[in-house]
Amino acid sequence: MQKSRLIDQLRSALRVRHYSIRTEQAYVQWVKRYIYFHHKRHPKDMGEKEITAFLSHLALHRRVAASTQSQALSAILFLYKRVLDHDLEWLNDIVRAKRPVRLPTVLSRDQIRPLLAELNGTNKLIGHLLYGSGMRLIECLRLRVKDIDFEYKQVMIREGKGGKDRVTLLPERLVSPLTKHLERVQRLHNTDLNQGYGSVYLPFALAKKYPGADTEWGWQYVFPSRNRSLDPDSGQIRRHHAHESNFPRALKQAARDIGLNKPISSHALRHSFATHLLEDGCDIRTIQELLGHRDVNTTMIYTHVIRRGGRGVRSPLDK
């Protein structure tokens, strides 16, 4: 019972600080693994020594990636600082997993064209949007209707990585297919309303601040799920966004069908977007803003291609 209360306190502390549901799930799992590693001892009875042992175990025996070990450390430090109110000094004795420097998987334009052409239906539209705007997959799936600005040909990404908003490109080539797609989604939404449903999840208690906004058209997901489901927090039957496993599965199948022998993921479309903009002469700072990178050094990895001067920004999808 004591452990259960601790996990509940951890979830509450994360939600008060508006951490994403994905971060909440990851932190809860890491704290549980930390507790089980030390034979279910309560974290308040442990400290730097036990944390060092657990993280060193991840690096030496489990051979986890550096980013994975860093996430585990962040989860445990959050537990001690925000839940147990126990401030820990920097742990110098931790054996940290070495982060390798890897170049991103980039597809040429001649590879992008048949790959996107092989996709069907909504997955085809998602693929074109990822490559044409540089969005992450989860950012694309979380788009609301109000975030698409057809007049200015731009997409507003809300609460992206790091909790930041940003604006990216809406390729002119996608205006017509995206408009037709939204017409179909609106018919689906109207059907939900007629059947007594039509509610969608709203972040940061906006449902209380704006009663009825959860059924408004502008707040609906651009890529909704095929089926309605139970919202575990509110207990309401709602239509969430499409599951994030659907598109990667379709993309990998499309790559196999055209005989593409590169390791393909949805992130490869984002990498290709950035690289092709560089090839077209777009400056690195602009690409940094479009991708939402905090540090320009992160964007500099795409300079393994030759840059040629600076010109006006245009989505590579419109070429």
Q: Dump pLDDT digits (tens) for 30-76.
A: 999 999 999 999 999 998 889 988 988 998 888 888 889 889 988 99
Its pTM stands at 0.80
> Which listed residue (33, 158, 267, 314) is catalytic?
267
Instruction: Look at residue 95 and tell me if it is in a domain.
Output: no
Look at residue 275 in the predicted model and tell me its pLDDT.
92
Active-site residue flag, 270: yes
What is residue 72's predicted lDDT score, i.e. its pLDDT?
A: 93
Is 261 part of any domain? Answer: yes
Return d(Cα 120, Cα 137) in angstroms, integer. 17
Query: What distance separates the 2 farthest-apart alpha carbons in the chain?
Result: 63
Catalytic residue among 128, 238, 239, 270: 270
Residues 9 and 158 in one domain: no
Are residue 78 and residue 171 in the same domain, yes or no?
no
Weakly modelled stretches of the chain, pLDDT under 70: 1-4, 88-101, 304-313, 319
Does 272 map to a domain?
Answer: yes
In a domain, 92, yes or no: no
Residue 91 within a domain: no
Return the closest-CA partner of residue 157 out of 178, 133, 124.
133
Both 280 and 157 in one domain: the answer is yes
| One domain, residues 78 and 113 | no
Report residue 57: phi and psi, to 5°. Answer: -60, -40
Same domain, 208 and 287: yes
- Residue 239 in any domain: the answer is yes
Annotated catalytic residue 80: no
267 given a catalytic annotation: yes
Write out the two tokens for 149: 């600005």
Q: Which of 68, 83, 98 is the last residue of a domain?
A: 83
Domain carrying residue 129: 109-318
Q: List the CATH number of the domain containing 143.
A: 1.10.443.10
Looking at the chain, the number of H-run helices and the number of E-run strands are 13, 5
Q: By the 8 A CB rule, do 126 and 160 touch? A: no
| 101 domain-assigned | no
DSSP state letters, 63-104: ---HHHHHHHHHHHHHIIIIIS--PPPP-TT--PPP----PP
The verdict on 263 and 125 lying in the same domain is yes
* 71 shares its domain with 120: no
- The tokens for 173 are 């080539």
CATH number at residue 43: 1.10.150.130
Examine residue 88 and state whether it is found in any structural domain, yes or no. no
38 in active site: no
pLDDT at 311: 45
Same domain, residue pair 68 and 113:
no
* Amino acid at position 79, single letter: L
Residues 11 and 113 grouped into a single domain: no
User: Catalytic site residue 210?
Assistant: no
Does 115 share its domain with 71?
no
Count the neighbouring beta carbons within 10 Å of the beta carbon of residue 183.
Answer: 10
Candidates 146, 150, 145, 126; CA nearest to 136 is 126
In the set 33, 44, 161, 307, the catalytic residue is 161
List of residues 6+ apart from 153 with CB closer than 8 A: 169, 170, 171, 172, 175
What's the domain count of the chain? Answer: 2
219 and 313 share one domain? yes
The catalytic residue among 80, 131, 136, 241 is 136
pLDDT of residue 22: 85
Are 185 and 249 in the same domain? yes
| 153 in active site | no
β strands within the chain, DSSP E: 148-149, 154-157, 166-169, 229-230, 237-238
Q: Residue 304: its pLDDT value, please?
A: 60
Q: Which of 232, 262, 298, 294 is nearest to 99 (CA)?
A: 298
pLDDT value of position 59: 84
Q: What is the pLDDT of residue 309?
A: 40
